Amino acid sequence: MNGRRGSRMSRVLLNVNGAVREVEADPATPLIHVLRNRLGLVGAKLGCGLEQCGACAVIADGEKVLSCMRAVSEFEGCAIVTVEGLAEDGELNPVQRAFLEAGAAQCGYCTSGLVVALTAYLQAAERPDRQGAVEALQGHLCRCGAHADVLRAVDRLLAGAADDP
């Protein structure tokens, strides 16, 4: 034991952004800490640490999940996509493009969580609509007040840019 009560490091296999990665971590470590500190994927942010702000959102097996409290061990065998994994071959995905075009970020802290949540919604929805998009973004806090710009990005997507999230 290294003096830390309950600390037990083990190897954890994660499928992140299409690549299987092996990390050494305590299985109880929240996923966000492994993504940021072990894998260098810093797009998901640690905001509240209580699953109440949405800044830590990632996609796991096609669903938006908050990563600040859930243990990394819960994600073994899942396909995890972070905001870094949304772009393909250097091309932003439609949600990222719509956010950029609508200027839907001020400080940018919440932006990756919003983009991830909206991408997960668009991928899952048979007939995406504004109400569904707004519901998908519930629980995501933006302290800068960029809500109107985010909704403008949603409207751009629903007007045709969301064909392939």
**Which CATH number characterizes residue 37's domain?**
3.10.20.30
Residue 36 lies in a domain: yes
Query: Which one-letter amino acid corresponds to residue 89?
Result: D
Instruction: Tell me how far CA of residue 36 lies from CA of 14, 145, 164, in angstroms.
Output: 13, 26, 28
Q: Which residues pair with 16 in a beta bridge?
A: 19, 80
pLDDT score, position 162: 47
Residue 72 lies in a domain: yes
Q: What is the mean pLDDT of each run of 10 residues along the chain (165 residues)?
A: 64 97 97 98 96 97 98 97 96 96 92 97 96 96 92 94 48
pTM over 0.75: yes
Residue 1 lies in a domain: no
pLDDT score, position 6: 59
- What residue numbers bound the domain in which 68 lies? 10-85
Q: Are residue 76 and residue 103 in the same domain, yes or no?
A: no
**47 Cβ contact partners less than 8 Å away, ≥ 6 residues apart:** 53, 54, 55, 56, 68, 109, 110, 113, 141
pLDDT score, position 165: 47
Q: Are residue 71 and residue 24 in the same domain, yes or no?
A: yes
What are the phi and psi torsion angles at 129 (to 5°)?
-140, 170
pLDDT score, position 3: 46
Instruction: Give the number of domains in the chain.
Output: 2
